[in-house]
Amino acid sequence: LDVPGGGAVLEIGCGTARNLVRIAQAYPSARCFGVDISAVMLKTARATIERNRLGGRVRLAQGDATALDTGMLFGIRRFDRVVISYALSMIPDWETVLLQAMLLLERGGSVHIADFGDQAGLPRWFRAGLRSWLKRFAVVPRSDLGDRAGDIAQALGCRVKAYPLYRGYAVLAEIHAPPAAA
Q: What pLDDT, in 10s, does the model give residues 66-101? A: 999 999 999 999 999 999 999 999 999 999 999 999
Quote the CA–CA distance of 79 and 154 in Å, as a whole number: 19
- What DSSP element (H or E) covers 144? none
Q: How far is CA 81 from the centre of its chain?
A: 9
| 120 pLDDT more than 90 | no
Q: Residue ranges of the alpha helices (H) in the chain?
A: 18-26, 39-51, 70-74, 94-103, 124-135, 145-156
Q: Which pLDDT score is estimated for 145?
A: 85
Q: Which pLDDT score is estimated for 182?
A: 56
DSSP bridge pairs for 10: 33, 82
169 vs 87, which has greater pLDDT?
Answer: 87
Backbone angles phi, psi at 147, to 5 degrees: -65, -45
CA dist list (Å): 40 to 82, 97, 108, 125, 166: 22, 21, 34, 34, 31
Quote the CA–CA distance of 170 and 153 in Å, as a whole number: 20
pLDDT band, very low/low/confident/very high, at 4 (cuts 50, 70, 90) = very high
CA geometry: angle 3, 32, 28, nearest 5 deg: 60
Q: What is the pLDDT of residues 19-48, one digit of tens each?
A: 999 999 999 999 999 999 999 999 999 999
Strands of the 170-176 sheet, one edge to the other: 58-62, 31-36, 8-12, 79-85, 105-116, 170-176, 159-165
Calculate the average pLDDT of the chain. Answer: 91
